[in-house]
């Protein structure tokens, strides 16, 4: 089996606000999969995030949406450099996100993170696998 696309679905309170945020961070929107109930943020050619209005999200599950002071998922995204990691996190924070924790530098791997305006956690990383410790 070979997976050819990934769609992560996350609930949001305001689709337009979410669309505006992710556009400012630097990602494009797939308008074919977007309307007043959902917006499709393109992370790359095969990975997409569907941000669904909470009421619409509830049509896909019988479980309640997590309350604002809880978390149910942290999305980790790998980039090609430490500079790209910090750039994305800084732009996100400048546009309404908040810092999740201080950046973590493990030598071979670097991570920075934020909570988006809807409270979803994003761990943005760069890893040089050739430098990964053997143990």
Q: Could you tell me the pLDDT band of residue 35, with boundaries at 50, 70 and 90?
A: very high
Per-residue pLDDT tens for 53-62?
999 999 999 9
CB atoms within 10 A of CB 135: 3
User: Nearest 5°: CA angle at 53, between 30 and 10?
Assistant: 70
Q: pTM for this structure?
A: 0.89
Burial category of 62 from C-beta neighbours within 10 Å (exposed 0-12, middle 13-18, buried 19 and up): exposed
Q: Could you tell me the pLDDT band of residue 25, with boundaries at 50, 70 and 90?
A: very high
For the chain, give the percent of residues with pLDDT over 90: 81
Question: Residues with Cβ < 8 Å from 38, sequence gap 6 or more?
Answer: 15, 50, 51, 52, 53, 56
């Amino acid at each position: 089996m070979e997976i050819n696309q990934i769609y992560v679905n996350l609930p949001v309170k305001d689709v337009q606000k979410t669309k505006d945020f992710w556009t400012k961070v630097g990602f494009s929107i797939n308008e074919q999969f977007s309307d007043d109930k959902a917006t499709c943020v393109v992370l790359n050619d095969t990975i997409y995030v569907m941000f669904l209005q909470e009421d619409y999200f509830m049509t896909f599950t019988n479980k309640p949406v997590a309350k604002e002071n809880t978390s149910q998922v942290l999305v980790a995204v790998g980039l090609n450099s430490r500079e790209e990691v910090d750039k994305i996190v800084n732009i996100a924070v400048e546009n309404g996100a908040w810092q999740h924790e201080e950046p973590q530098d493990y030598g071979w791997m670097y991570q920075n993170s934020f909570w988006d305006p809807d409270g979803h956690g994003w761990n943005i990383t760069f890893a040089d696998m050739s430098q990964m410790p053997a143990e």
